[in-house]
A and B are shown apart, each in its own frame.
Chain A
Amino acid sequence: GAVVSQHPSWVICKSGTSVKIECRSLDFQATTMFWYRQFPKQSLMLMATSNEGSKATYEQGVEKDKFLINHASLTLSTLTVTSAHPEDSSFYICSAKHLYRDNEQYFGPGTRLTVT
């Protein structure tokens, strides 16, 4: 149990376009989901915290107008990278906090974004 999926797993897009990444908790409900980015050989950097039905909370230095987050249900959160640029190329990973197992977070497999 406690499986999180992400779609797509890999995406290449052109500079200036937008990309949407989906994060789903498949067998549990999650009122809170998190979005991270990870550069090669580095640890995860939290971008934002997403609560179902409310606005996301962004970490300092993360542009909320560039990284749009929607958490419309207890099992789905989306991250849209708007007007992507090559420097946005990274590994994006979501995690979901299990509704009934406080403090346990389960991660998705990640989405590799390459902006050309």
Chain B
Amino acid sequence: QKEVEQDPGPLSVPEGAIVSLNCTYSNSAFQYFMWYRQYSRKGPELLMYTYSSGNKEDGRFTAQVDKSSKYISLFIRDSQPSDSATYLCAMVTGGGNKLTFGTGTQLKVEL
């Protein structure tokens, strides 16, 4: 079993839809959680960073962490074609250095 599970997709939604991206994890030592967006042939871009259970909002993006269920989510409101990319969840243990990534979910927002 992988430490971090993420549905690879692809996920296709119409423009304006609310997108829900999810990851589950098995290591209870993970304390910090990140979402990255990666466009084709580019490096990942940090979107959201959270360290506690609950919600964190930034513009159209909301990151949700449920440590009791070992489940994290990223919601994208009013999705745009420019949101089409691969979304990677990543997490790290407290005091740790190495990020553990999910496999990434490929999202396509269609006109």
Contact = CB atoms under 8 A, between A and B. Distances in A.
Interface stretch (A61-69, A71-79, A80-88, A105-113): A105-113
Contacts, number: 50
Nearest to B6: A43
Interface residues of A, number: 23
Interface string A86-116: 0000010101010000011111111010000
A44 B49 contact: no
Contact of B46 (A44, A46, A49, A105): A105
Interface residues of B, number: 20
A25 interface: no
A2 B104 CA distance: 23
Nearest to B92: A103
Interface of B: 32, 34, 36, 41-46, 49, 51, 88, 92, 97-99, 101-104
